Amino acid sequence: MTFIARHDLPLSMQINEDLSDEINLKIIDILGRDSSTRFVEIAR
């Protein structure tokens, strides 16, 4: 398996990765406050 360093990715992929990280952290925060939150609510 080959790993690619983040700084070797094109800028557009780095930005998408940053956005994904931000969204994931928001989801974790929501679930951390109330783990029974429905997926529909999280999606909003």
Per-residue pLDDT of the chain (44 residues; tens, 9 = 90+): 677 777 777 777 777 788 888 899 999 999 999 999 999 999 98
Q: Give the residue among 43, 18, 19, 16 at the shortest CA–CA distance from 31.
A: 43
Q: Please answer whether residues 31 and 42 qualify as being in contact, where contact means their C-beta atoms are separated by less than 8 angstroms.
A: yes
Phi, psi dihedral angles at 35 (to 5 degrees): -70, -10
Q: What pLDDT, on the 0 to 100 scale, is given for residue 18?
A: 80
Q: Which pTM was predicted? A: 0.61
Tokens representing 40?
A: 């529909």
